[in-house]
Chains A and B, each alone.
Chain A
Amino acid sequence: MTALVQVDGLVKHYPGRRGWLGLKPSAPVRAVDGVSFSIAAGSTLALVGETGSGKTTVGRTLLRLVEATEGRFSFDGIDVFGLKSGPLRALRRRMQVIFQDPSGSLNPRMTVGDAIAEPLIIHRLASRAERPVRVAELLGEVGLDPSFAPRYPHELSGGQRQRVGIARALAVRPDFLICDEPVTALDVSVQAQVLNLLKDLQRSHKLTYLFIAHDLAVVRHVADEVAVMYAGQIVERGPVDRLYADPKHPYTRALLSAVPVPDPRAPRDRIVLSGEVPSPTNPPSGCRFHPRCPHPLKDAFCSSDVPGLREVTEGQWASCHYAEKPMAGTTL
């Protein structure tokens, strides 16, 4: 399979605030600091991380909702960061996004039908006469009855609203969808429905997903590949089965062990990390995870030398000096 999405050395720094006299600006916020990945056409890469890891910023820079500081993003061979506004708008027809909060991303004063028709109008994809037909078709694709078209977002449940958000993204027949925490705001029974819908749509529409999420259990059900982010960098990347069965980076291992298991008889050997995620203005030297790392082999080398992301076993990459000697602990 060829990569539809290829990201190299993505960096996003927000400039530090200037002081009172406009002298010395404070250190920049290093939200994303050298992220590379590729996604094969028709597959799903999940970008996983905690608050402040930079996962959402990655999604926003790819869509050019914010401009990247450095790096390249090639989409189907097109250099996206080099595009002028005209061709960029044309390309956006092929790249769409689904946001976390469906009530915040739908205009409360637009009916569901109008909201779904809007991208059709902007991209001139359907004539006035064709629009209602296309809207009904799209509602059907996301599992909603066409009678929803004249309703307003506040009349819908959270799950239904998220389905409308998906229909809106699908309206322009995109190739690539960035799903930013698409099920986080939903109840668990509804979350399962929406995850299943996303998977069915991927198959029927041959979609490529960048799935941004914090919930590792959710990711397990949708992803082909997983990339784990910590403090603006990818610390581990690999096929979903292998990464979950045999995580190579101590952070991945700790993250997996912290997920509550819905089985009272499951053995509980949580690795409880001490401390907090480092400040993005002043990340630790060497390995950014070293102040919290529970690895028994951790030494002075970890605080002085930056471990690069390297292939530890075939297809599985990790940025840890001691990735070959995984810590004892949870296996799943």
Chain B
Amino acid sequence: MSEQAPLLSIRDLKTYFVTGAGAARAVDGVSLDLYPGETLGIVGESGSGKTVTSLSILRLIPEPPGHIMPGSLIEFEGRNLLTLSAAELRAVRGNQIAMVFQEPMSSLNPVFTVGDQIAEVVRVHLGLSKPEAWIRAVDMLNQVGVPDADVRACEYPHQLSGGTCQRVMIAMALMCRPKVLIADEPTTALDVTVQAQILELLEKKQAEMGMSVMLITHDLGIVAGAADRVLVMYAGQVVETAKTEDLFANPQHPYTAGLLASVPRLDGGRGSLTGIPGSVPPATDWPSGCRFHPRCPHAWDKCRAQEPPLLDGPNPGQSARCWLVEEPNRRKAP
């Protein structure tokens, strides 16, 4: 996969927010590549910067208070999205790069029927007439598994369940057959059986359309099942990246390992969960050195003083922002 050219490349993305308590460095030097046809999982807890990263790609960050800092690069098919004009960007947004958000109910417009909202996408981007767009919208609703699509298309968001609303959002996102689908916590607000339906739908549509998916979630279980590669974020930075199997089998960063040990499992028994002491620091005040050091069981002087770069780990494509990669004998037994 790495011989292929990436479809989307992010280099040194910095998105800062002006707050009363100083600059919040929400995303602070993130680099990543998304290859054609793959699913990249982005995992992190609240405040890690995963959502701000995804919003920065389509420049959906409210400015001010947000600022994407000079020197950041978001390259999609050879063009830097950060330097496009508003009109050029609109042609990409929702067309070649589409997004699905966490809360379908609040992302849909309550005063238009869902059919109109889905049809609008192709009327704007492809210039289709109203009746043509409507036919496509109903067809897409059908494809995303909404029963009685022609009836449902005439309904308003409040008449639909959360799961159906999320199907509507997915239908909207897929209308222009995007090359990249950014799904930000697409199932977090949904019940587990509905979540299973939505994940299956995303998987099926990806296989049919061959698009790349950036799947942003806090749930390691979802990533394990859906992603080819994973990127773990903490305190505005990428702290580890690896193929999904390598990440779960052999996590290099103590934060990744801590996260894995915190996840309650169905086969877990009544034993204690490990957890990670403390909580994520505020974005206005990242710790010195390695940002994870105050919560890290292995930390030593160097971690407090020097910030580690992403260091190559044992498996191809795996790297971690941790000095332990260079000094593995410092790793304490669990």
Contacts of B264 in A (CB 8 A): 191-192, 195, 215, 217-218, 220-221
Chain B residues, Cβ within 8 Å of A214: 191-192
For A185, give the chain B residue with the smallest CB separation.
B46
- Does B307 lie at the interface of the complex (its beta carbon under 8 Å from any beta carbon of A)? no
The dominant DSSP class at the A interface is: helix
Determine whether the beta carbon of B192 is less than 8 Å from that of A216.
yes
Asked if A313 lies at the interface with its beta carbon under 8 angstroms from chain B, I say no
Closest chain A CB from B104 CB (angstroms): 14
Q: Are A266 and B192 in contact (CB under 8 A)?
A: no
Question: By the criterion CB–CB under 8 Å, are A256 and B266 in contact?
Answer: yes
In the complex, what's the smallest C-beta–C-beta distance from A20 to chain B, in angstroms? 20
Q: Is the CB of B161 within 8 A of A217?
A: no
A188–B193 touching, CB < 8 Å: no
| Cross-chain contact B276 with A258 (CB below 8 angstroms) | no
In this complex, what residue of B is CB-closest to A53?
B191
B141 to chain A, nearest CB (A): 16
Contact of A78 with B by CB under 8 A: no
Q: How far is the CB of A291 from chain B (nearest CB, A)?
A: 12
Q: Assess whether A50 is interfacial by the CB under 8 Å rule.
A: yes
Cβ-neighbour of B196 out of A188, A190, A272 (below 8 A) = A272
- Assess the A261–B197 pair: CB atoms within 8 A: no
Q: Are A220 and B192 CB-contacts (below 8 A) given A189-B45, A193-B275, A266-B224?
A: no
- Interface of chain B residues 269 through 308 with chain A (CB within 8 A): 269-277, 279-280
Could you count the A-B residue pairs with CB atoms below 8 Å apart for me: how many are there? 143
Do B46 and A187 touch (CB < 8 A)? yes
Cβ–Cβ contact A259 & B192, under 8 A = yes
What is the 8 Å Cβ interface bit string for chain A, positions 180-221, against chain B (1 contact, 0 not)? Answer: 000000011111110110010000000000000011111011
Q: Check B221 against A261 for contact (C-beta < 8 Å).
A: yes
Cβ-neighbour of B275 out of A190, A258, A260, A268 (below 8 A): A190
Interface 1/0 per residue, A130-162 and B, CB below 8 Å = 000000000000000000000000000111100
Is B265 an interface residue, CB under 8 A from the partner? yes
Per the bound structure, the CA–CA distance linking A241 and B268 in Å amounts to 10
**B132 surroundings in chain A (CB, below 8 A):** none
Contact for B276 among A189, A216, A221, A332, CB less than 8 A: A189
A265 within 8 Å of B (CB atoms): yes
Cross-chain contact A264 with B193 (CB below 8 angstroms): no
* Chain A residue at minimal CB-CB distance from B245: A264
Question: Chain B residue with minimal CB distance to A193?
Answer: B275
Report the minimum CB–CB distance from A299 to chain B (whole Å): 23
CA distance A188 to B260 in the complex (A): 9
Contact of A50 among B193, B199, B224, B277 (CB under 8 A): B193
Q: How far is the CA of A191 from the CA of B261 in the complex (A)?
A: 12
Assess A268 versus B259: contact at CB under 8 Å? Given A50-B192, A258-B192.
Answer: no
Q: Which residue from chain B places its CB closest to the CB of A268 in the assembled complex? A: B225
Whether A262 contacts B248 in the complex (CB less than 8 A), given A221-B270, A221-B271, comes out as yes
Distance in angstroms from B294 CB to nearest chain A CB is: 13
Residue B263 is within 8 A (CB to CB) of chain A in the complex: yes
Cβ of A254 within 8 Å of any chain B Cβ, yes or no, is yes
Whether the Cβ atoms of A188 and B45 lie closer than 8 Å is yes
**How close is A100's CB to chain B, nearest CB, in angstroms?**
14
Give residues of chain A (234-257) contacting chain B, Cβ–Cβ below 8 Å: 240-241, 244, 254-257
Whether A261 pairs with B271 at a CB distance below 8 angstroms is: no
Partner of B267, one of A157, A192, A268, A332: A332
A256: B residues at CB distance < 8 A: 266
Asked if B202 is at the interface (CB within 8 A of a chain A CB), the reply is: no
A241 to B46, CA, bound (A): 32
Let me know if A260 and B219 touch, CB within 8 A.
yes
The answer to whether B196 and A220 touch across the interface, beta carbons within 8 angstroms, is no
Q: B197 and A273: CB pair below 8 A?
A: yes
Q: In this assembly, does A72 line the interface, its C-beta being within 8 Å of a C-beta of chain B? A: no
Q: Is A51 an interface residue (CB 8 A)?
A: yes
> For residue B222, which residues in chain A have a CB less than 8 angstroms away from its CB?
260
Task: Tell me the complex Cα distance, A10–B238, Å.
Answer: 51
Measured between beta carbons, the chain B residues less than 8 angstroms from A188 are 45, 218, 220, 259, 262-263
What distance in Å separates the Cβ of B246 from its nearest Cβ neighbour in chain A? 9
Is B258 located at the chain interface by the 8 A CB criterion? yes
Q: Tell me the complex Cα distance, A270–B266, Å.
A: 14
Interface string of B168-204 (1 = CB under 8 A from A): 0000000000000000000000011111110110000
Q: Quick check: A262 and B263 within 8 Å, CB to CB? A: yes
CA distance A258 to B219 in the complex (A): 13
* Shortest Cβ distance from B201 into A: residue: A272
A120: interface (CB < 8 Å): no
The 4 closest A-B pairs by CB, nearest first: A260-B221, A192-B275, A192-B273, A189-B276
New A-B pairs, 17, CB < 8 Å, besides A262-B223, A272-B200: A157-B280, A189-B258, A189-B275, A189-B279, A191-B262, A193-B277, A220-B267, A221-B264, A244-B266, A258-B192, A258-B193, A260-B199, A260-B221, A260-B222, A262-B221, A262-B265, A265-B248
A-B contact pairs, 28 of them (CB 8 A): A50-B191, A50-B193, A50-B194, A189-B262, A190-B279, A191-B275, A192-B262, A199-B272, A214-B192, A215-B192, A217-B221, A217-B266, A220-B267, A220-B270, A221-B273, A241-B269, A256-B266, A258-B195, A259-B266, A261-B221, A261-B224, A262-B220, A262-B248, A262-B260, A264-B248, A270-B196, A273-B197, A276-B161
